[in-house]
Structure 1
Amino acid sequence: MFERFPINRRLLYLCLFLFFMNLLLILWVYLISKTNETKGTSDRGPGAKTASLRELASSKSFQIGSSVRFESFISERTYRQRVNQEFNMITIANELKFETIHSKPNQFDFSKADFLVDFAMEKQIHVRGQTLIQSEALPGWVTQGDHSKEEIKQMMKKHIQTIVSHYKGRVATWNVVSGAFNDDGSFRDNFWLRTIGPEYIELAFRWAHEADPHALLFYDDHQMERWNAKSQTVYQMVSEFKKRSVPIHGIGIRIQTDSDQQFSSHALSANMNRFSNLGMQVQIIDFDVKIKNNNLPFKENLKKQAELYGIALKACLSSSHCTAFMMQGFTDKYTRQQESFPLIFDINYKPKPAYFTLMHILSQNNAASRGGTSLVRFIYAHERRLLISTPIVV
């Protein structure tokens, strides 16, 4: 009995030692995790909090996002992380365009677009499909073949309905037709106009709606940030479509400008409200501000760039029917205009003044949700179809 006591005592000391070592380990893990949290937000600037553009926009029932590219997405983890962190909507930039997805007759390549859509669904990010029918960049088998008018109509119908049906219930919004008018309001010369006639626009919307009755269908164009010949023509087209029950739900206003230019927030808001009065949603899309090679210091140009981003976002938020602010990319690392630094993150993913301007505007009156038309008109109820097995780590 007396011989066992020293053994029990040694066991007690050992248990106490292990207990305190576990406590120290737990404390160490906690401190490391807090340090990593701090590092994760350190690139947003002094005094930055963990809020993101996505969180602030979502709290207002508003969509903010960027066009994304498959090659950048697949090659760089930081790119994917920024998309997931900052945006609640993406535009698929090129992977759904005619020459990419339907480059050969009777052959559709959905692989790259599927990859982006699957990621977005997993991360609860809305998807904007761009563009079903555009004025340019068509494959040769479409433009150079000897086809009758009826054959071309059936070709266009098959193209639209195959793509929209493939993403039924997964892509919330489609740019159905893009850039159909010149700045003077006349029809822009293109293959579809020459072969089918002006009715190609109406047909495109009807066929897209047949393929997915719940998707939001948009017409988009540039040079519509004010009331001019083009925006007046588009307004008249939408008015006629509404009278004939053509399924059109919104207008995308494409804005690419530069730091030397200025546009009126009032004029932009007024034009949005005109379309809103027709029952249309309005979205600013493909927005960027290129920095011109002028005599101003670079910091001053960054300030002017931020001001223009702010003017556009404020105008959108001032209209109850403006449901999204979409940019033409988000990092200067992946832009065709790299020398003009047009986006809100630099080539190292460091946020620029334009980013903080957007954050500030979205944070104002953040407790109250915006009124107006909700973007989401359906629930993603379909099973995701994973056609590419390449792993994504975010």
Structure 2
Amino acid sequence: MSWRITLMAIASAVVCTTATFALAAGGVRSLAHTAGIHFGTAVNVEALGTDAPYSRLLAREFDLVTPENAMKFSVIQPERGRFDFSQADALVAFAEAHAMQVNGHVLVWDQQLPDWLTQGHFSSDELKAILREHIQTVVARYRGRVASWDVAAEAVGEDGKPRETFWSRGIGADYLALAFRWAHEADPQARLRYNDYGGEGAGAKSDGIYTLVAGLRTHRVPIDAVGLQMHVSLNDAPRPEDVRLNMKRLAALGLQTDITEMDVMLPLPASRAALKKQAVLYGAMLQACLAVPQCRSFSTWGATDRYSWIPEFFPGQGAALLFDASGHAKPAYWSIKLALLTKASHKR
């Protein structure tokens, strides 16, 4: 069966099974638990203290949270040696109060670095010491409280070759292996992940990510999983079957996989037809995850369109998430719920 036929079938099911959803009271998180995965989202930590409906929606629908910005280097260590954990602590406390897992994000990335770091003049050894201190201070603080970490992100270029980054220039190609080992030393029980965009399906970047993580495994670097971000539009999404096959080959390396940052941007104002196509795409990608036992979680990059990053970075685009700006469920939400209902019913 072609992926297009599969998507059409999902779309028809979304329309025809409205009554079924009434039988699945409560949020998606309980269905996801029954289906055997975690269902997560990125959180705007500042909004937790000011937007009560947003906080209630998070607690109802998700059992896994990732800080959108609160654990990035520039926020955590704005000045050398001065760590600010206020936002990160708030997120972890919120998660613990609502029986959620936390995914820490992100320890080593080429963006959102503080000026003191990028404009400094450090030797390779000094940069190694700075990075090691940062990773081990942050991970150790949340040892036993943060279940997984995006240790590194976006280190592979569109051509599949290693990307030149601030860290690779300053430390060398082994910065990734060092980062994973330092994180593991700080919390041996935490699940450690490499996270990237544009390599979810087939192609040069997907192959490059595979080569990178296969090399880390060969050298016994403590990496447990690969995150497939899935920032897409209706016109550039990978084939769901290619996503499934990519997850399977990563599983053959002994790695788990996750869809970590999914959103599907639409031209604004979003038409009803576009919202239906968006729903089909969300459902198909979740089905690809559910078809591979090693796919352990499915997360969106934001819960509601009110706090989405898309309109700022892609003017004229938006409506990318499961809930609109007022917190009302969109067709994509029901498509997700249907996929989980189907999987959960098969597991009973």
Find out whether 1:320 has 2:293 as its counterpart: yes
Pick aligned residue for 1:266 from 234, 241, 247: 241
Pairwise CA distance, 1:352: 0.3
User: Is the alpha carbon distance of 1:265 and 1:91 closer, same or farther for their aligned partners in structure 2, counting shifts above 3 Å?
Assistant: same
TM-score (norm 1): 0.79
Q: What SS does the aligned partner of 2:121 have?
A: coil
Shifted more, 202-211 versus 333-342: the winner is 333-342
Residue in 2 that maps onto 1:209: 184
- CA–CA separation in structure 1 for the residues paired with 2:159 and 2:236: 21
TM-score by length of 2: 0.89
Residue deviations 1:51-77 (CA, integer Å, cap 9, x gap): 321010011221111100111111111
Confirm or deny that 1:164 pairs with 2:139: yes
Change (3 A) 1:308 1:205: same
Is residue 140 from structure 1 mapped to residue 102 from structure 2 by the alignment? Answer: no
RMSD of equivalent CA atoms? 1.7
Residue 48 of structure 1 pairs with residue 22 of structure 2 = yes
SS in 1 for 2:88: helix
Q: What residue in structure 1 maps to residue 162 of structure 2?
A: 187
Report the counterpart of residue 390 of structure 1 in structure 2. none
Q: What is the correspondence of 1:53-64 to structure 2 with a 5 Å cutoff?
A: 53-64=28-39
What's the offset of the Cα at 1:112?
Answer: 0.9
1:40-97: CA deviation from partner (whole Å, max 9, x where unpaired): xxxxx87634232101001122111110011111111111111110001011110000
1:303 matches 2:276: yes
Give the conservation status (yes or no) of the 8 Å contact 2:46–2:87: no
- Which ranges in structure 1 are unaligned for 5 or more consecutive residues? 1-44, 371-394
Within 1, Cα distance between the matches of 2:327 and 2:211?
A: 42
Amino acid of the residue matched to residue 309 of structure 1? Answer: Y
Please tell me the residue identity of whatever aligns with 1:127: V
Amino acid in the other structure paired with 1:341: A
Q: 1:65 aligns with which of 29, 37, 40?
A: 40
Instruction: Report the AA paired with residue 307 of structure 1.
Output: V
Which of 361, 368, 371 is equivalent to 2:339? 361
How many residues are aligned here? 324
1:330 matched to 2:303? The reply is: yes
* Corresponding letter in the other structure for 2:322: I
Q: Distance in 1 between matches of 2:261 and 2:159?
A: 22
- 1:289 Cα offset (Å): 0.5
Q: Is residue 252–residue 283 contact of structure 1 (8 Å, CA) maintained in 2?
A: yes
What SS does the corresponding residue of 2:49 show, helix, strand or coil? helix
CA deviations 1:100-122 (Å, max 9, x no partner) are 11110111000111011011012
Change (3 A) 1:103 1:183: same
State the alpha-carbon separation in 2 of the partners of residues 354 and 226 from structure 1.
21
The alpha-carbon deviation at position 290 of structure 1 amounts to 0.7
Partner of 1:88: 63
Query: What letter corresponds to residue 276 of structure 2 in structure 1?
Result: K
Amino acid at match of 1:48: A
Provide the rounded CA distance (Å) in 2 between the counterparts of 1:64 and 1:253.
14
SS in 2 for 1:132: strand
Residues 263-303 of structure 1: per-residue CA shift (max 9 Å, x gap): 31111100000100111010001100011259xx8110100
Distance 2:115 2:82 in 1: 14
In 2, Cα distance between the equivalents of 1:337 and 1:190? 24
- Out of 209, 227, 240, the position equivalent to 2:202 is 227
Please give the alpha-carbon distance, in whole angstroms, between the structure 2 residues aligned to 1:326 and 1:92. Answer: 12
CA distances 1:192-229 after superposition (whole Å, capped 9, x unpaired): 11111110000000000000000000001111122322
Deviation at 1:187, TM superposition (A): 2.0
Equivalent residue letter for 1:346: D
> Conserved in 1, the CA contact under 8 Å of 2:72 and 2:106?
yes
CA contact (8 A) 1:258 1:292 kept: no
Report the identity percentage.
37
Once the two structures are superposed, residues 355-374 of structure 1 have per-residue CA deviations (whole angstroms, 9 ceiling, x without a partner) of 0000011001424549xxxx
Q: Are the counterparts in 1 of residues 201 and 240 from structure 2 also a CA contact under 8 Å?
A: no
Provide the rounded CA distance (Å) in 2 between the counterparts of 1:178 and 1:337: 19
Residue 233 of structure 1 and its aligned partner are, at CA, apart by 2.1
Q: Is the 8 A contact 1:136 1:190 kept in 2?
A: no
Name the residue aligned to 2:9. none
**Secondary structure of the equivalent of 2:117?**
helix
**C-alpha distance in 1 between matches for 2:137 and 2:308:** 30
Letter in 2 for 1:123: H
- C-alpha contact (below 8 Å) 1:227/1:267 kept by paired residues: yes
Rounded Cα–Cα distance in structure 2 between residues aligned with 1:246 and 1:137: 26
Listed one character per residue, the Cα deviations across residues 129-154 of structure 1 (whole Å, up to 9, x for unaligned) are 11000012211111122211101100
CA distance in structure 2 between the aligned counterparts of 1:95 and 1:48, rounded to whole angstroms? 36
Does the Cα contact within 8 Å between 1:102 and 1:108 map onto a contact in 2?
A: yes
